[in-house]
Amino acid sequence: MPGGTFDLADVLDLSMDDHKETGVSDQAKVLIEGMHCDHCEVTVGAALTEAGLSDVSVDWRRGEAVGIADAGFSAQDASDEVAKLGYSVTSIDTTESTETEEAGGSDDDYDLLIVGSGSAAFAAAIKARDLGARVAMIERSTIGGTCVNIGCVPSKALLRAAESYWRAGHSPFAGLETSAGAVDLKALVEQKRGLVNQLRQEKYADLLELYDIEFIEGDATFVDENTVDIGGRQLKAFRFLVATGAEPWMPPIEGLGDVDYLSSTEALELEEVPDEMIVVGANAIGLELGQLFTHLGAKVTFVESRSRRSLRSSTSTSFRRELRSTPGPWLRKPGQIRAGCGSTSRQTAPPPGWKPTDS
């Protein structure tokens, strides 16, 4: 896709000549407030049918109904019929739509075929289904993409747990001693995996049936501009969206391939707290993971090639204030940051002349 913003309706362009038209009808979309269960869908559907809407499909979760507006359809009658049931129609949009020779709208298997199944893929798929497109996703690994599987969800779950542990052993009140017990990182990681599995199911897998999106497992290979092959099965689509995400990049450090290094993905799966850890890179993800293991008791050293001024310019004022309020991290010299490990390790002193700054 070209750079810049775009409207998915324009990308799909379902009214182009590629889709063979055989007739024209008016499609009505009715937005309704007050529905809260499957029974609401049934009663509202019957009311709209009475008002002259055919092929009615009601979705109480999304608060809408769609159907074909027959010659006798009246928006006022539809509002009145729905109001009798205790619901409220907020808007009715009627648009001209084309009927096609095949149920899907063209000779293609799909209007939109998405390679990948992360948050971007689901956002596009849901919007395309709202536009009436036939949609499928192809995924070679685990549904859900980075955020729920190896990114935001697991990292924040562990960060919150580590923060609670660290605060348990660091009382901010004079004369009040507190302590924290041993860390069972294996149990903590198992709990994190349970949360990931739950959210993956609720926020991704369950939406496939809800929005009628087909899910295809396997590797996709483009055969030509209109066809992909998935394990010998060839599928055609009017439009494709490649939303395969990214993976951690390993810097070209001499000797790195000879050691058992961790990416952010593997670090979140460790089941024992290491005594020491070197984090190469002191931006958002590096600092996040370093903070996690510092709070759990590891001695963490950050290594960063950029200068202190460069780091400060990319770090928010509130985050720098937080760094100064907790024992541990200090900017030592361009290229290096060191962090202590709370109460069990000697705090590294700041360099001579170093002063905190809010800018």
In sequence order, which residues have a C-beta less than 8 Å from that of residue 282 and are 6 or more positions away?
A: 290, 302, 303, 304, 306, 311, 337
Q: Tell me: pLDDT of 165 over 50.
A: yes
CA distances from 156 to 27, 148, 289, 291, 325 (A): 44, 10, 10, 11, 20
Q: Tell me: pLDDT of 205 over 90.
A: yes
Q: What is the CATH number of domain 1-15+104-248?
A: 3.50.50.60
| pLDDT tens by residue, 286-309 | 999 999 999 999 999 988 877 665
d(C-alpha 64, C-alpha 170), whole Å: 52
Beta partners for residue 32, in sequence order: 89
CA distances from 272 to 95, 182, 297, 305, 321 (A): 60, 11, 11, 29, 30
| pLDDT tens by residue, 78-125 | 899 999 999 999 988 887 654 444 334 445 699 999 999 999 999 999
Sheet with 64-69: strands ordered across: 53-59, 64-69, 21-33, 88-100
Of the pLDDT bands very low, low, confident and very high (cuts 50, 70, 90), residue 330 is: very low
Tokens 């309020």 locate to 325
Smallest CA-to-CA distance from 28 within 60, 62, 56 is with 56
One DSSP character per residue, 205-244 reads: IHHHHHTT-EEEES-EEEEETTEEEETTEEEEEEEEEE--
Give residue 196's Cα distance to chain centre: 12
Is the backbone of residue 133 left (phi > 0), alpha (psi -120 to 50) or beta?
beta
Beta partners for residue 241, in sequence order: 114
In the prediction, which pLDDT does 119 show? Answer: 94
In the prediction, which pLDDT does 128 show? Answer: 93
Domain 24-98 classification at class level: alpha beta
Say how many residues make up the chain: 359
Retrieve residue 259's tokens.
């050691």
> What's the one-letter identity of residue 129?
R
Domain ranges of the chain: 1-15+104-248, 24-98, 273-344
| pLDDT tens by residue, 51-72 | 888 888 898 888 999 888 887 8
d(C-alpha 237, C-alpha 296), whole Å: 50
The tally of CA atoms less than 13 A away on the side-chain side of residue 298 is: 22
Whole-prediction pTM: 0.63
CA-based angle 329:174:332, to the nearest 5? Answer: 15
